[in-house]
């Protein structure tokens, strides 16, 4: 799918996050240039940041655990905010696992500072002058979590090849945040953490 001629590109450096403002009708593409890099994706509705993409409301809305092309992601008010319109990856994305945060790394045995998606989210929003008090459950693009019939979860390394991309259509004006997950203690990313690329095709 070609984005329109007016394209904004934002690189999300490895282990960091970036926030972008999008308008209803815009296409938002997130890709993993080096492959196998998980991205935590959040969306907050412009004008009322207390309404945001909710993975749990989305699971109930679509009757699935994980995203599929054609499906909508809904907000805490059950309004569609994004639609997944194209996926060139193997289609493994997660809606179960929360954003990593400093406590997660402490519990994994890390001492000292460690980047996290929760802090990347608040930092990226702060650069737009936005403050938040809670970290929503993200949609974790390119993250391969499997749910076994007995309910157990299996964390696998991302199968996304270099250049794999997911493309969303914005259904509401919103702020989209993408964090290049810095998880390097659990093997969800490739052999090393890498960057992500956000491309926005502006609606005519």
Site residues, Zn ion (CB under 5 A): 100, 117, 181, 183
> Which residues have C-beta within 8 Å of that of residue 113, sequence separation ≥ 6?
none
**Whole-number minimum distance, CB 26 to Zn ion, in Å?**
25
The residues that bridge with 196 in the sheet, in sequence order, are 12
CB closer to Zn ion, 145 vs 181: 181
Closest to 196 in 3D by CA, of 67, 66, 21, 9: 9
Closest CA to 155 of 166, 141, 144: 144
Beta carbon of residue 142, minimum distance to Zn ion (angstroms, whole number)? 12
Retrieve residue 91's tokens: 């289609």
Q: Which is nearer to Zn ion, 75 or 140 (CB)?
A: 140
Q: Is 47 exposed, middle or buried (0-12, 13-18, 19+ CB in 10 A)?
A: exposed
Q: How far is the CB of 201 from Zn ion (least distance, A)?
A: 26
Output 167 or 183, the one with its CB closest to Zn ion.
183
Q: In the complex, what is the shortest distance from the CB of residue 10 to Zn ion, in angstroms, rounded to a whole number?
A: 18
Judged by beta carbon, residue 100 or residue 166, the one nearer Zn ion is 100
């Amino acid at each position: 799918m070609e984005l329109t001629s007016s394209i904004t590109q934002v690189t999300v450096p490895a282990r960091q996050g970036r926030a972008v403002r999008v308008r209803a009708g815009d296409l938002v593409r997130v890709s993993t240039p080096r492959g196998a890099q998980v991205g935590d994706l959040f969306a907050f509705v412009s004008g009322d940041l207390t309404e945001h993409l909710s993975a749990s409301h989305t699971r109930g809305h679509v009757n699935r655990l994980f995203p599929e092309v054609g499906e909508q992601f809904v907000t805490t008010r059950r309004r569609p905010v994004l639609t997944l319109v194209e996926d060139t990856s193997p289609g493994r994305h997660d809606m179960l696992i929360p954003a990593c945060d400093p406590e997660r790394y402490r519990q994994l045995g890390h001492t000292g500072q460690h980047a996290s998606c929760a802090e990347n989210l608040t930092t990226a929003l702060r650069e737009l002058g936005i403050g938040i008090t809670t970290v929503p459950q993200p949609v974790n693009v390119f993250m391969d979590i499997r749910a076994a019939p007995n309910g157990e979860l299996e964390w696998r390394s991302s199968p996304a090849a270099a250049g794999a991309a997911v493309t969303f259509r914005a259904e509401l004006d919103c702020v989209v945040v993408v964090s290049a997950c810095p998880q390097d203690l659990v093997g969800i990313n490739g052999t090393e953490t890498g960057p992500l690329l956000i491309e926005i095709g502006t609606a005519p």
